[in-house]
Amino acid sequence: MLVTALLSGLVLGGTYALVAMGLTLQYGIARIMNLAYGETIIAAAFLAYVLFNGLGINPVLGLLIAVPLGFVFGYLVYGLMMRPLVRRAKSRETLEIDSILATFGLLFVIQGVMLVFFGSNYTSYSYLNIGVSVLGTTIAANRLLAFALAIVLGGGLYLLLTRTLWGTALRAVAVSPTSAPLVGIDVERAARTAFAIGGALAAAGGVVISMYQTFTATAGVVFTMKALIVVIMGGVGNILGALFSGLLLGLVETFVATYVDPGLTLAATYLIFLAILLWRPAGLFGRSAR
Amino acid sequence: MTARTLLGLLVAGLVLAALAALPLFAGPYAVTLMIGMTGYVVLATAWGLFSGPTRYVSLATVAFFGIGAYTVGVFSETLPYPLVLLVAALIGLAVALVVGLSTLRLAGVYFVIFTFGLAELIRQLVTWYEVNVTGTLGRYIFLPVTPEGIYWQLLALAAATFLFSWGIGRTRWGLALKVIGDDEVVASHCGIDITRLKLALFAVSAVIITLVGAIQAPRWTYIEPSIAFNPTISFLTLIMALLGGADRLWGPLLGAIPLFLLFEWLSANFPNHYPIILGLVFIAIVFLLPKGVLAAVESRLRKGGAR
């Protein structure tokens, strides 16, 4: 029971971490609070479902389709919707409010489109649904694969961001958008790239989630919510913080679901959020002031 | 009180009387329409009451609306009606204080995040409680309230909301709120207790929204968490207030009436596509009229006058 909960928690947490990394890039670097983030995740989950059930393409290959699509989607959303708002904004606060409102509208558009195509039923497909024995307990192979994918994608991105000049430039924008241009960084381009990578990660997260969970067209809000809490917990713009917080949230949720009640997972998430707000609003790993 | 305010109050009173007399002449469909419209006018005005001056975007309208509606569902058979409304208002107040105390001393974005998932959290908690403790999901509301009665209650609540919103603008607190809206740092340097003022205003706004839900609840007869906590209500309230201009007394009203009619027409003619259309309308408003219709018209007039 304990080992099972631990393993499922890590699988779930790995997915949360992956998804939250994308959101922390969008919010930390592009300064866009994207409330339609969860809808991107669900759209990718539906894409994986259609590819698997309709065309027989397995989700791992589906990633090769979904991730570039997510990138292009993020790139377009930033270019068409966010850039005018960024240029118009007088301060960080006005951009924050504008982006919250615009993406809130986008949330309903994407959700509406998905409802038209797929309805509001729970959707899932069965891929690699065979038990594998790990540490004396059995766990579905698709979950192990999901965890491995999350680690590879998340770890790869982390290395890209910390070990390359390109990644360092992106992180510089997160630290100080006003001084980044002084060292020759194109802030707008960095923001656009970061937003697009966020879209790609959301798509990757959606495909990974669809492999082992059921989902509905209206489930995006909860994913956005959890990703936002993980981002705040890890400290905005902090990749490693998002990774650890994501794993932590996944573990807490699974333990609550196993030992308390599955209906109370969101309540547990909120309880953590409340504790963070009261105790360390800058995040567990964040700097104390913003 | 100047002659002009007296005249204004008189006109407002006459309009209110005319609106209250409407059910005596109009048919049942018109009353239904007026209930929905008045409900949204109150929701949008109460939303603007807090979010207009403070610029904190609250996405939790339906959390409070649903609390009101569901409380009526739970207590309608055991308590007398006025007491049910009181209990609903108190629960709404308690939730608003929890949300406000934990987020309003921080930057606005924490408040947005907290309110974003609040309705879903409360919906899941209520569902969990109903399934595990009471063993029933969904409740019937049989209250001897006529549609006219609901309409009159909403109208009275609307009048009270407008009176409060207008009255607060004429006090020290109204002035303090203006300073907060313009610059929080300046406000705190003036010795304004920002957090307490924001908290009080949020609580008032939340209680009004809770009451709208409670008053409208008997319209449903049957209620369950997914009906009471329908996110479209938060969404609609937000666009209505923004379209008119949240920081003005009459702004939310001006946004609520056309958008409510549009919504009625869309949901009757395009039941499957209206979220998409509304989302697009909403994005258009954020882009084209960021400060609302009233502000846009005013700046247009001022430009014309200067020329």
Contacts of A103 in chain B (CB under 8 A): none
User: What's the gap between Cα B256 and its chain centre?
Assistant: 10
A266 and B273 in contact by Cβ < 8 A? Answer: no
Percent of chain B with pLDDT over 70: 98
Residue A40, pLDDT score: 93
Which among B39, B64, B43, B59 has a CA at the least distance from the CA of B237? B43
Which residue among B107, B125, B278 sits closest to A267, beta carbon to beta carbon?
Answer: B125
Q: Model confidence at B1, in pLDDT bands (50, 70, 90)? A: low
Contact, B73 vs B217, CB < 8 A? yes
Q: Model confidence at B304, in pLDDT bands (50, 70, 90)? A: low
- CA separation (Å) from B175 to B20, B45, B199? 33, 19, 16
Q: Which residues of B touch A (CB under 8 A)?
A: 55, 57, 59, 102-103, 106-110, 112-114, 116-117, 120-121, 124-125, 127-128, 131-132, 231, 235, 238-239, 242, 272-280, 282-283, 286-287, 290
Percent of chain B with pLDDT over 90: 15
Determine contact: A119 vs chain B, CB below 8 A: no
Tell me the three state secondary structure of residue A36. coil
Chain B: residue whose CA lies nearest to A262: B128
Which CATH fold topology does A2-279 show?
ABC transporter involved in vitamin B12 uptake, BtuC (1.10.3470)
Q: How far apart are the first and last CA of chain A?
A: 42
User: What's the gap between Cα A268 and its chain centre?
Assistant: 19
Residue A100, pLDDT score: 87
What's the pTM value of the predicted model, to 2 decimals?
0.87
Other C-beta atoms within 10 Å of B125: how many?
Answer: 16
Other C-beta atoms within 10 Å of B299: how many?
Answer: 11
Contact, A258 vs A215, CB < 8 A? no
Q: Hey, of A32, A39, A101, A114, which one would you mutate to test binding to chain B, going by the most B CBs within 10 A of its CB?
A: A101
pLDDT one digit per residue (tens) for chain A, 290 residues: 788 888 888 888 989 999 998 898 888 888 888 899 999 999 999 999 998 888 888 888 888 889 999 999 999 999 888 888 888 887 777 788 888 888 988 998 999 899 988 888 888 887 777 777 777 777 777 888 888 888 888 888 888 888 988 888 888 888 887 888 888 888 888 889 999 999 999 999 999 888 888 888 888 888 998 999 898 888 887 888 888 889 999 999 888 888 888 878 888 888 888 888 888 777 777 554 44
Residue A68, pLDDT score: 92
Which contiguous run of DSSP H or E holds residue A67?
Answer: helix A59-77
SS3 percent helix, strand, coil of chain A, rounded to 5, is 75, 5, 20
Whether B136 shows a pLDDT value over 90: the answer reads: no
* Beta strand B222-223 pairing with B139-140: antiparallel
Chain A: residue whose CA lies nearest to B183: A93
User: What's the gap between Cα A151 and its chain centre?
Assistant: 13
Phi, psi of A219 (to 5 degrees): -85, -5
Residue entry with tokens 């009906």: B227
- In angstroms, the CA B187 to CA B166 distance is 21
* CATH level 2 (architecture), domain B3-306: Orthogonal Bundle (1.10)
Residue B209, pLDDT score: 94
Residue A286, pLDDT score: 59
- Sequence-distant (≥ 6) Cβ neighbours of residue B26 within 8 angstroms: B34
- In angstroms, the CA B236 to CA B226 distance is 17
Number of continuous H segments (helices) and E segments (strands) in chain A: 11, 2
Determine contact: A134 vs chain B, CB below 8 A: no
Determine contact: A266 vs chain B, CB below 8 A: yes
Residue B307, pLDDT score: 45
B7-45 pLDDT, tens digit each: 888 888 888 888 877 887 878 888 888 888 999 999 999
Residue ranges per structural domain of chain B? 3-306
Residue A290, pLDDT score: 40
Chain B: residue whose CA lies nearest to A32: B109
Whether B91 shows a pLDDT value over 90: the answer reads: yes
Q: What is the mean pLDDT of residues B159-187?
A: 83
The two tokens of residue A181 are: 């241009």
Residue ranges per structural domain of chain A? 2-279
The mean-pLDDT minimum among B50-59, B63-72, B131-140 falls in B131-140
Residue B219, pLDDT score: 84
A221, with CB counted inside 10 A (0-12, 13-18, 19+), is: buried
Across all residues in chain B, what is the average pLDDT? 85
- CA separation (Å) from B219 to A141, B209, B233? 50, 16, 16
Determine contact: A72 vs chain B, CB below 8 A: no
Number of continuous H segments (helices) and E segments (strands) in chain B: 14, 2
Which among A266, A273, A127 has a CA at the least distance from the CA of B127? A266
Contact, A218 vs A115, CB < 8 A? yes
B55 and A97 in contact by Cβ < 8 A? Answer: yes
Give start and end residues of each alpha helix (H) in B169-250. 172-182, 184-189, 194-216, 225-228, 232-244
A96 and B109 in contact by Cβ < 8 A? Answer: yes
Residue A289, pLDDT score: 40
B270-285 pLDDT, tens digit each: 888 888 888 888 888 8
Q: Model confidence at B239, in pLDDT bands (50, 70, 90)? A: confident
